[in-house]
Amino acid sequence: MERADVTGVLLAGGRGQRMGGVDKGWVDLDGRPLVAQALQRLSSQVDRVVISANRHLDRYRRLGHAVVTDSLPGHPGPLAGALGALREVSTPWILLAPVDMPWLPVDTLARLAGAIGGADIAVAHDGRRLQPLVALIRSSLGADLSDWLAAGGGRVVTWYDRHDWIEVGFPGQDAQFTNLNTPHEVALAACAQAGHASPPDSCHE
């Protein structure tokens, strides 16, 4: 699999409820918005990135990437954002990544692609837990995803279970898969980032 076969899809369309309802992509971390940090990690691995967002669309477009929105009403979850991107991409694969994961491993695509074999979906496992929104997905699954969401589906892994999918281990890298879901978690991350180039291992409450 070549990087030109994969479109990166940055999921930035969530409601940010645990962040006080703000658009998490524009939350500041050490002087830069989360979207800029996530894009840096994702765009280094693919030739093209699509941002899936539901607010501040013009602001996201100014980052220089295509922007899509949920194709279904009511924000039925991150896979609705993935579906919006699948309707726009022409590559045989997409690589999902969430906007609130600023330390996404730079070898994510290489590791997932190297392990996928004949499967349809490869999902990162950080050594402690599955990371369902860090996934390499065959683009031809878009029609099935559309039907499943239209029928009321929502849970990410439940949709994966409809297909041939595998877990790919990233042992010892759980900190790089840190999601920043709350203002407190952002504060801890800023503490770590101020003195380190890597995730918030060394900051404590």
Annotated binding-site ranges for GTP = 11-13, 24, 70, 100
Alpha-carbon span 31 to 178, nearest angstrom: 19
Q: Which residues are annotated as a binding site?
A: 11-13, 24, 70, 100
End-to-end CA distance of the chain: 43
Residue written as token pair 């877990």:
167
Question: Binding site membership for Mg(2+): which residues?
Answer: 100
- E runs forming strands in the chain: 6-12, 28-29, 32-33, 48-53, 66-68, 93-98, 121-125, 130-138, 165-169
Would you call 121 exposed, middle or buried from its count of C-beta atoms within 10 A (0-12, 13-18, 19+)?
buried
CA-CA distances (angstroms) from residue 39 to 46, 101, 106? 11, 10, 11
Q: Are 78 and 159 in contact (CB under 8 A)?
A: no
Beta-sheet strands, E only, within 13-128: 28-29, 32-33, 48-53, 66-68, 93-98, 121-125
